[in-house]
Structure 1
Amino acid sequence: MRNSYILLFLFISIKTSANIKNHSRRFHLGLTTASPSYQLSFTPEEVSTEQKVNFRPNILGLGGYRLTLFGFTLTYLEDAIRNEKDDIKFGKTSYEDIRLSTYWGNKEQWYINGYYTRYKGLYIDNSEEIDSNLSSIDPKIYNEDLEVFNAGGAILYTFKPSEYSLAAAYSQTSQQKKSGGSWLIRLSSDSTLIKDSTAIIPTQVRTLYGTDQNLIKTQFVSTTFQGGYGYTVVLSNFFLNLQGLYGVGIQNRKWTNEGEKNQSSNTNISKLSLWAALGYNGDDFFLTIKHLNDETKYETKSINIFSNLSWLQLDLGVRF
C-alpha cells in the first residue's frame, strides 16, 4: 500500500511538472516592434475650469530587439519610423526603452523586472484651444525641451507555478502546455520625472493653474503592493494570457516652480494593472502580441497630471 502511494505521488508530480517546459537557459534572439499611444494631461486643481493642456509625443512606431542569455532577457526599443511632414507639424520626439527581466525559484515562481524609458520633445495636441490664433492645419505648439523619464522595478509571485507560468506569459522563455491560472502578488517601485527648462504650462493659460502655474519639474516615486489573478488559455502551442492586479501604496511627490524652492509631500495611492498577451509559443519559435493599458494620476498643490498609455507590442523570436 505504501509503495502505491509513492507511485501515485510521483505520477502526479511528473504530470504536473510536465505542464511547464523551461527554455530559460537557451539563447533567444528576437525582433520587437511597438506602437504606443501616450498622453500627458495637465489640468488645474480648481474644478470650476475645464482647461487642459494635452502633451503627446510624435512617434509613429518603435523598433528594436530582444535577447535571452543565461536566464536574463534584455529588450531595447527606440523610435524607428519618421515622417518629414509629421515632424514639421508636430515636432520631433526622441524615445528610448530598456527592459531587463529574469525568473527565480526552482519553478520560476518569482518574476523580477526593471525598466527605463525616456521621451524628449512633445507637442500640445489641443493647441487650438490654447492659442485661438491657431487652426487645425497649423503646426502644433511644440516643446522640444520637455522630457518624461520613467524607471522602476517589480517582483511578481505566482502561488501555483506548476499550473501558471510567468515566464511563458511575459517573455516566452518557458512553454505552458495546458490551460491554467493562479493567484498573484506583486511589489513594485516606480519613479516618474517630468522636467523642462522653462515653465511647462503655456503662457496663454498659465494663470488658470494656481500656485504651481510656473511648474518646471516634478517627480513622483511610488511603492505599491498588489494582488490579483492570472490565467492562460492554451490550445496546442497557441495561447491567450490575461492578468489583472489591484493594490494600494504610498507616493512621494516633489515639484519645483520656476524661481522657487522644492516642495514635497506624501500621499496614499491605488493602482490597477491590466495585461493581455496572445500568440504562438513553440519549441523553437515564438510570436506574441502584447497589450498594456496604464492610467496614472499625479498631483501637485494646484495641478492634476494624468498619464495615459496604451501599448501594443509584437515580438518575433527563435531559440537556439
Structure 2
Amino acid sequence: MPESHELNALDDMTEVMELLFESGWTDGLPVIPPTPRNVQRMLTGTTRAADELIGRIPPKGGRATVEKIAINAVMAGCKPAYLPVVIAAVEALLDDRCNTRGVQCSTHIASPLVIVNGPIVQELGLNSGHNVFGQGWRANATIGRAVKLVLVNLGGATPGVIDKATFGHPGKFTYCIAENEAANPWEPLHVERGFAPTDSTVTVFGAEAPHNINNHWSATPHGLLRTIADAMSTLGSNHLYLGGESFLVLGPEHADVLAKAGWTKRDVRAFLFEHARKPLAQAKIGGMYGPETRRNLWPRWLDHDDEQQGIPIARRADDIAILVAGGAGRHSVYLPGWGARSATRKIER
C-alpha cells in the first residue's frame, strides 16, 4: 500500500483513485483518497497510537498497525467514529479459531461477516432491522468494506492470486450487520458470550451469503424449526462433512413464535442438532468425501455400517450460534461457514 504522503503529489481525486485501482489496492469501487489529512482525521476516532501493531494479516503477513487500518477505513468511506469497530474486527480475525488464512485462500465462497452488539449500534446508526444485509446504511456498508480492504491490502487476498474462491459472493465487498437487540426475546449474542450488556463488541465469522428461510404459517416451534432444519441440512453444505460453527439469524417474528412458547436458545439448538441431518447413504453419493466411509476424512464416530444414520450439520448443538436481526416478515436466514469458528472482541475506543 502507498504511504498517505505519497498521494499529495497527484493533482486530483480521479488521478488518485486510478492509481489505487491500477495498483490493486481497491475492491473495484471508487475510494476516498487516504491523504495525510484524511488519515489524521480518521485517527481522531481512537485513542490508540498510530504505530500500535494490532497483528499481521494472513496469509501474507502485512503489518496491521492502527494507522494502516485507518488508511483502509478512509478508503472505505468510514467516519472516524467507526474506526474502533474496524480495529476490533481486525483483532477478532487474528484469533486462530477464525482460520482467516484458510478463509482468505480457499476455493470456498465464505467471507468474514462482522456482527456488532451493544450500545455502539445506536451511537453509530448501524442497521439491525429491515434490509439488514442490504444497502442504505453508511456504518454497515463502510465498516464491512474497510475490513475487506484490510484483508486485501495487508493480507494479500487478491482475487485469483491468493483468494482462490470459485465464486465468491457480494459479502466480499462488505458484510456487516448489527443484532436487533430490541426485538430479541433472549439475551443478545455478546451477553451470551460473557460480556456485559453495556459492552460493545464485534463478532467475526467466515460466512457464506445468507440463505433465506421462509415459513409464513407455522404457529408452533416444531413446525417452524422443522422448516429451518430442512433448509440447514443440505448435501452441499460444508458442515455436514467438516463440522465447525454456523449462524442462524432469526427474524423477530420467528423468534417471537419460539419465545412465546417458552423455548430458549438452548432448546432451539438442541432441536436443530437432532433434526438438521442427512442420512449417511445420501452423503456417500452426493457430498464431499465419497463412498468409502472408512477413510480418515469421515468423522470417526460414524457407524459406517448404518447407512440410515443421520449426520448432523454440527458436531455439537452449541456449534449453532443464534442471533436476532431483520425487520417484519416471517423469514429467517442461515449462514453456513467454512468449517472454522467465530471470535468476539470488545470494542475499545
Does TM-score exceed 0.5, indicating one fold? no
Higher-RCO chain (CA-CA 8 Å, sequence separation at least 6): 2
| TM category, shorter | under 0.3
Higher helix share: 2
Larger radius of gyration: 1
TM-score, normalization: structure 2? 0.21
Higher strand share: 1
TM-score, normalization: structure 1? 0.22
